[in-house]
């Protein structure tokens, strides 16, 4: 594996191998000394043109725990703010002898484009509304840890489908692992053509959140991405919450064993109530913890694993 640009790049077996390594890496998190020599002498640059808390810091921790040298560059504070082109920025960083580039960019396709400019391995850490593959891997890893094999498990993905790169990556990943997926959103937050997409990729679509909830093993709430919205996608935040928020009242509709996920960052009180985010069945902090292990696994397979760079 040379790059990780899309979940579509991974077979079921490759996802399984990434999870196996992630489980070993997860054990490192509970050690007193959290350091493996695996990537000693390797350099990883986190190149972030969009804000991030979880992804950037967990890639940084993952790289450091594997003994790589990790450098963070963000658009604010780099020469991109002086008008340097993306290509020039990337070629400049690559010319310093970098082995891995972890890239977040507001343009869909940016990670693929960058991978065509450089010899380094490129990881897509979120490109526009396209994909966020490591988020989907850590979500599936977390769900599998709690629910076991995901084949036949029913996952509802709820909220702002239109602007979500997490949705696309999760749909591909969960379907590859054999899960049943239902996406739930108001008509204004569903992509046009979603019916054809659903038919082609084998997932279901719904409008009525209350009808879906009693039949799921997991509910994944998506953030309402107000920074990407230029118009009125719903009349008021209150109306959105009434129709599509995971409220305290809706918790009662979930089966007893069902779990709650959110990729973060959350709009508490909008798409998810504090009672749901902080519930015993919420896996939100487990997702964050798994994020480090899964990203260690990805860096390992790209930069040190058997067949890396091939």
The interface region with ligand CP, picked from 89-97, 180-188, 242-250, 259-267 by CB under 6 A, is: 259-267
Contact between 45 and 104 under an 8 Å Cβ cutoff? The reply is no
198 within 8 A of 175, measured Cβ to Cβ:
no
Min dist CB 135 to ligand CP, Å, is 5
Stretch in the footprint of ligand CP (CB under 6 A) among 6-14, 112-120, 186-194, 260-268: 260-268
Residue from 2, 54, 64, 228 binding ligand CP (CB under 6 A): 54
Terminal Cα distance for the chain, rounded: 6
Q: What is the distance between the alpha carbons of residues 96 and 34, in angstroms, rounded to a whole number?
A: 28
8 Å CB contact between 1 and 308: yes
Identify which of residues 162 and 304 has a Cβ nearer to ligand CP in the complex.
Answer: 162
The only residue of 21, 43, 55, 182 in contact with ligand CP, by rule CB under 6 A: 55
Neighbours of 239 (CB within 10 A): 12
* Residue among 296 and 304 whose Cβ is closer to ligand CP: 296
Q: Is 25 exposed, middle or buried (0-12, 13-18, 19+ CB in 10 A)?
A: buried
264 touching ligand CP, by CB under 6 A: yes
CB of 306: closest distance to ligand CP in angstroms? 29
User: Does the footprint of ligand CP cover residue 52 (CB under 6 A)?
Assistant: yes
Task: Determine if 265 is a binding residue for ligand CP (CB under 6 A).
Answer: yes
DSSP state at residue 131: B
Q: Which region among 2-10, 52-60, 87-95, 146-154 touches ligand CP (by CB under 6 A)? A: 52-60
Name the one range near ligand CP by CB under 6 A: 20-28, 189-197, 228-236, 262-270.
262-270
Residue closer to ligand CP, measured from CB, 55 or 180:
55
Site map for ligand CP, 288-307, x if CB under 6 A? --------------------
The stretch among 48-56, 78-86, 181-189, 194-202 that binds ligand CP (CB under 6 A) is 48-56
Which residues share a beta bridge with 158?
Answer: 184, 221
Peptide bond into 265 cis (omega under 30): yes
DSSP state string for 203-249: -EEES-HHHHGGG-SEEEEPP--GGG--S-SSS-HHHHHHHH-B-HH
Q: In what order do the strands lie in the sheet with 69-74?
A: 69-74, 43-48, 100-105, 121-127
The answer to the question of residue 124 lying near ligand CP (CB under 6 A) is no
Site for ligand CP, rule CB under 6 A? 52-55, 126, 132, 135, 263-265
């Amino acid at each position: 594996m040379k790059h990780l640009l899309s979940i579509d790049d991974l077979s079921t077996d490759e996802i399984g191998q990434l999870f196996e390594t992630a489980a070993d890496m997860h054990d490192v998190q509970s050690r007193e000394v959290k350091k493996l020599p695996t990537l000693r002498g390797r350099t990883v640059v986190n190149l972030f043109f969009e804000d991030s808390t979880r992804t950037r810091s967990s890639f940084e921790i993952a790289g450091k725990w594997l003994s790589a040298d990790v450098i963070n560059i963000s658009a604010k504070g780099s020469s991109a703010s002086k008008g340097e082109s993306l290509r020039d920025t990337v070629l400049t960083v690559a010319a310093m002898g970098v082995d891995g580039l972890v890239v977040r960019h507001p343009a869909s396709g940016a990670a693929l484009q960058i991978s065509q400019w450089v010899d380094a391995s490129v990881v897509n850490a979120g490109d526009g509304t396209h994909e966020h593959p490591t988020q989907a891997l850590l979500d599936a890893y977390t769900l599998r840890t709690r629910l076991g094999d995901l084949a036949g498990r029913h996952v509802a993905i709820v909220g702002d489908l239109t602007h979500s790169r997490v949705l696309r990556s999760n749909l591909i990943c969960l379907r590859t692992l054999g899960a049943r997926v239902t996406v739930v959103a108001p008509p204004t937050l569903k992509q046009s053509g979603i019916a054809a997409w659903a038919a082609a990729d084998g997932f279901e679509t719904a409008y009525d959140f209350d009808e879906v909830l009693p039949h799921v093993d997991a509910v994944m709430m998506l953030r309402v991405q107000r920074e990407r919205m230029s118009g009125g996608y719903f009349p008021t935040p209150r109306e959105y919450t009434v129709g599509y928020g995971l409220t305290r009242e809706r918790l009662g509709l979930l089966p007893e064993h069902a779990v709650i996920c959110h990729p973060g960052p959350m709009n508490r009180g909008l798409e998810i109530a504090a009672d749901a985010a902080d519930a015993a069945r919420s896996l939100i902090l487990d997702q964050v913890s798994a994020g480090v292990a899964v990203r260690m696994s990805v860096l390992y397979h790209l930069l040190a694993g058997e067949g890396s760079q091939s």
